[in-house]
Amino acid sequence: MHLLIAAGAPVIPNFGGASDKCAVNNGFFCWNWFTQHWGSTFGPAVVQHIVLTVIAVGIGFVIAFALALLAYRFSVLETPISGISSFLYTIPSLALFQILVPFTGLTRLTVEIALVSYTLLLLFRNIITGLREVPEDVRDAARGMGLTQRQILLRIDLPLAVPAIFAGLRVATVTTISLATVAAFVVDEGLGAPIFDAISRSGFKTEFVAAAALAILLAWVADFLLVALQRLVAPWAAKRRSSLVPRSVVRAIRGRRRPISAVREA
């Protein structure tokens, strides 16, 4: 209802301060308006969005990690843990807010509980898969050389699970950044707030185009940073990939190049 009314009669937020032609006409994206409202609206929203995401992924990772270790040690636990986190994952976010609000109110806590519960499945599955996919011969060699169970977990299993763990972290982070926009239904925080405002009140296009674009940009940057971090933590994984897959390609290119340069020299 709000949306329809708002779309009919756009209300420019903070109109008057620095309106130009684009803003008056409710253009698709008004750069001037955006830069004028960076400090008051978008900048803080980006920071809030990052905070929401980092807390959700951080807490989600800690819980998922503990659960994965537990399920790794006692494999009977894997199915129930997996089932519960799958169940949480399927609850629609708006419904989950509705359920939580009577208990935790319109607070950041409500948002974080929802966001954390969505990260659990992705993170848990990836961590446990990473641990389980450590090659049996590697584990056997480790045991045969006298590493204790604890040393095998810390020095072999976990480092080898790093690529899978990071794959989970990347998906969870990008998903959370996207989901955190919905938090604006509960608290006036994050990049969801301008979008929500545009939809429910102002109908001003630049407001939600800018917020949505920032959310996408944030997801890209976060993903890139995680890839870079993984390269740092597990340099061997990149080496392995580059040495296994494209070696044939490299050889093909080199093989083709050599005769050409030989001809040139001749």
Partner 1 sequence: MQTEDDTGPSDSPRQHARAAELEFRNVSKRYPGADKPALRDLSFKVPAGEICVLVGPSGCGKTTAMRMVNRMIDITEGDILLDGKSVLGRKPSELRREIGYVIQQIGLFPHLSIGDNIATVPRLLGWDRKRIDARVDELLELISLPEETKDRYPAEVSGGQRQRVGVARALAADPPLMLMDEPFGAIDPITRERLQNEFLRLQETLRKTIVFVTHDIDEAIKMGDRIAIMREGGVLVQYDTPERILAEPADEFVARFVGLDRGLKRLALSRLADLSLDDADSVRDGTPAPGQADPDRVVFVDAQSRPVGRLGRDREPEPIGPVGSPDTSLRDALSLIMSDGNRPLVVVDADGAVAGVARLEVIAGALAIHNGRDASTEMRS
Looking up tokens 């420019």, which residue turns up? 12
Question: Binding to partner 1 by residue 244, rule CB under 8 A?
Answer: yes
Instruction: Tell me which of 147, 167, 212, 216 binds partner 1, using CB under 8 A.
Output: 147
Q: Enter the tokens of residue 225.
A: 């940073």
Q: Enter the tokens of residue 199.
A: 């939809």
Cβ-based burial of 89 (10 A; exposed 0-12, middle 13-18, buried ≥19)? middle
Instruction: Tell me which of 26, 36, 151, 178 binds partner 1, using CB under 8 A.
Output: 151
Residues 6+ apart with CB under 8 A from 189: 45, 48, 49, 52, 108, 111, 183
Question: Binding to partner 1 by residue 143, rule CB under 8 A?
Answer: yes
Which CB atom, from 136 or from 265, has the smaller least distance to partner 1? 136
Question: Binding to partner 1 by residue 129, rule CB under 8 A?
Answer: no
Supply the minimum distance, in Å, between the C-beta of residue 65 and partner 1: 18
Question: Binding to partner 1 by residue 153, rule CB under 8 A?
Answer: no
Cβ-based burial of 56 (10 A; exposed 0-12, middle 13-18, buried ≥19)? buried
- State which of positions 186-215 bind partner 1 (CB under 8 A): none
Q: By CB under 8 A, which span of 23-31, 67-75, 144-152, 182-190 interacts with partner 1?
A: 144-152
Give the C-alpha separation, 247 to 253, whole Å: 10
Supply the minimum distance, in Å, between the C-beta of residue 141 and partner 1: 3
Q: How far is CA 208 from the centre of its chain?
A: 20
Question: Binding to partner 1 by residue 254, rule CB under 8 A?
Answer: no
Give the C-alpha separation, 3 to 204, whole Å: 11
Supply the minimum distance, in Å, between the C-beta of residue 134 and partner 1: 9
Q: Where does this chain bind partner 1 (CB under 8 A)?
A: 135, 137-148, 151, 156, 159-160, 162, 234, 236-237, 239-240, 243-244
